[in-house]
A and B are shown apart, each in its own frame.
Chain A
Amino acid sequence: MIDGEQALRTITYREAVREALREALQKDERVFLMGEDVGRYGGCFAVSKGLLEAFGPERIRDTPLSESGFVGAGIGAALGGMRPIVEVMTVNFSLLCADQIINNAAVYLYMSGGQFNVPLVIRLATGGGRQLAAQHSRSLEGWYAHIPGIKILSPATVEDARGMLWTALQDPDPVLIFENSGLYNMEATLGADAGPVDIHQARVRRAGRDISIITYSASLYKALEAAETLAKEGIEAEVIDLRTLRPLDERTFLESVARTHRALIVDEGWRSGGISAEIASRIMEGAFYELDAPVARLCSQEAPMPYAKHMEDAVLPQAAGIVDLVRHMVNAHG
């Protein structure tokens, strides 16, 4: 589309992120991309393939394997007036730069008495399901959503993958974009004019009257698949894509619960102290008298992610599990 295509076209999530990067690099000369293997290798997930050739090594910068160092450099560049996009290969490695994110980027505005914003965007791949075992399959976005001072985006659709980056770059404060690595190959049809989208509202991806399934990222598709199965049994599930985990758009899910009177939260993160707990609490606080059943949660089993495929499938929330839970919530008979 950058090259002048006008019609609807089918692109992958990966291509959508790349288009967004390309657009940002073209529209704003302060934007640059920095991270491990983003240049010559074209990105660990091939997201930035071709960008080095198009924009040169000044703007597509390969970094050493030093997350704390290059995220810190990104913070410095942002303070200095640039609009850096820092790619941390996966959320697993973000633990090495958690200090930069939490202790520096998130609080500079406050610590400087409002003098210094940090207009930094960090992109991270996240999620399990690809047989990468315990150290490379984490879903820690809910954890980062605990931290005031940063925004946590979780694009689940190709449209959001295409549109959230530019909006994030316009934000004066740090924004973390979590791209579920299982979604990179997913295809969808986008309009030629697809562009920036809002980052402050959840979306109802499927309307229904019997239960609100609240989810985000790759679990959205499991929830939608479950909703299709349930529809054949006469149960109409509403599916909400949170899109942004911080700040949470609680209005959208509270309004939904007020219509359906039941809520199930599906989260690839762990249950204890997770974002699912936060959402359940907000429903309790804001829609208690609307509830016709206890709020339910389907999260990953609280175990390190197994390597074996069948065991990994057993740990992650699945559509079949959603269907079972919803059936019980809606059709219970004592």
Chain B
Amino acid sequence: MAEFRMPSLGSDMEAGTLLEWRVKPGDRVRRRDVIAVVETEKAAIEIEVYADGIVERLLVQPGEKVPVGTVMAIIRTEAEPDTPRPTASEPVSPPAPAKAATPEPMEIQFPAADRRIKASPYARRLAAHRGIDLGAVQGTGPGGAISAADIQRAVPSAPAEEKSRPVPAEDKPAEGPHTAMRRAIAAAMARSKREIPHAYFQTRIDMQRTLDWLAAENLKRPIQNRILPVVPLIRAVSLALEEVPELNGFWVEGRHRIAEAIHIGFVINLRQGGLIAPALLNTAQKGVDELMAGLRDLITRARSGGLRSSEMTEATITITNLGERGVETVFGIIYPPQVALVGFGKITDQPWCENGMLGIRPILTATLSADHRAVDGHRCALFLDALNRRLQEPSTL
């Protein structure tokens, strides 16, 4: 059996609301099938399953809001249909913090008075130290509580055991999606600036060759398939990451983890306000046409709903492109637990010296924000250099 749990769709996600099931008990599912749609503070996300099998039971009803980690469905895996396995085998998405599976202990319920032993913290400590069972001690302290004096009078017995009891999860009041997204962004960005020692790097790149190449390439394509200038930039970032892989990955639990695949998160501004940074999965394996199609699809789905959970969780680095808005330079804030963010500004005609000659060239300001715990300036410089080099040889893109 595999447990299908509410996934963490970002380091800032605490809970999600099930909007719909795309499967019913008895349905056969395959790894990566979308089986549910979940509303998070950011968007409605299609959730994929990570096990092959048959849907045994659905445990959460549409409309229910449950914490990250809650078991939502049981999948009977086909390999061993009748043998229950102890734990699920689905991988936990990398950005999920370890605590995500635990409900937040916010509201403490006092259990029934007749069940609970009242003892002062000091008395409990003494009792544990001397192996005295609190249940056998008569309390004479304030309110009948067991005090240290009661322990000192008591005779040692078998060690007492204190059981921790589950604490109900906090039930948050409903909130509009706009406010909720703002809060989610606020939490992620505040965490980033609080925890990540950002180092910033900037370089100016002559885009003449890339734009010339792009114009020539676009002449070969029908209008609807034409490639936007941001696509060669994404492609160049992907290639540069292959030279400096340290920037592609995560800082998790005090350790730097370099990701094997490159999934570039792309910041998409939403019309109703707020933003989202879903990933173009496996960027390294895609050429410019595939990237263009992927980007168009991603933007459409980000704005209309329908992003997939893997796209929300697996980004290994993020690109923000504010060139369309007329900004020349953007130094972005890293999306934790990623370790780098690449920023692109507007391409503007600038005076430019090359080989002792002054000319006018379309210049792009590229920036890199890097987590200095994970990488040092030298490697960051190499990355920007590689990025520049790729854009000077567009035929290699």
Contacts and interface: CB of A to CB of B under 8 A. Distances in A.
Q: Do A and B bind each other?
A: yes
Contacts of A328: 142
B121 A290 contact: yes
A288 B121 CA distance: 7
Given A292-B141, A293-B141, A293-B142, A332 B122 contact: no
Contacts of B142: 293-294, 328-329, 332
Contacts of B145: 293
B140 A293 contact: no
Contacts of B67: none
A291 interface: yes
A290 B121 CA distance: 6
Nearest to B138: A334
B140 A332 contact: yes
Interface string A307-334: 0000000000000000000001100111
Contacts of A288: 121
A285 to B, nearest CB: 12
Given A292-B141, A293-B141, A294-B142, A332 B147 contact: yes
Contact of B120 (A291, A333, A334): A291
B7 to A, nearest CB: 35
Contact of A291 (B122, B139, B149): B122
Interface in B198-245: none
Contacts of B377: none
A247 B122 CA distance: 28
A292 B140 contact: no
Main secondary structure on A side of the interface with B: loop
Contacts, number: 40
A293 B144 contact: no
A291 B124 CA distance: 10
B149 to A, nearest CB: 8
B125 interface: yes
Interface residues of A, number: 13
Contacts of A334: 139-141, 143-144
Contacts of A333: 140
Which of B121, B124, B143, B144 has most A Cβ within 10 Å?
B121
A289 B144 contact: no
Interface string B113-154: 000000011111100000000000001111111011100000
Contacts of A293: 120, 141-142, 145, 147
Interface in A259-292: 261, 288-292
A290 B122 CA distance: 5
Contacts of A329: 142
Contact of A289 (B122, B139, B141): B122
Contacts of B141: 292-293, 332, 334
Contacts of A294: 142
Given A292-B123, A293-B147, A328-B142, 5 more contacts: A261-B122, A288-B121, A291-B121, A291-B122, A292-B149
25 contacts: A288-B121, A289-B121, A289-B122, A289-B124, A289-B125, A290-B122, A291-B120, A291-B121, A291-B122, A292-B121, A292-B122, A292-B123, A292-B147, A293-B120, A293-B141, A293-B145, A293-B147, A328-B142, A332-B141, A332-B143, A332-B147, A334-B139, A334-B140, A334-B143, A334-B144
Interface of A: 261, 288-294, 328-329, 332-334
Sorted from nearest, which 6 A-B pairs have the closest CB atoms?
Answer: A292-B122, A334-B144, A292-B120, A292-B148, A332-B142, A289-B121
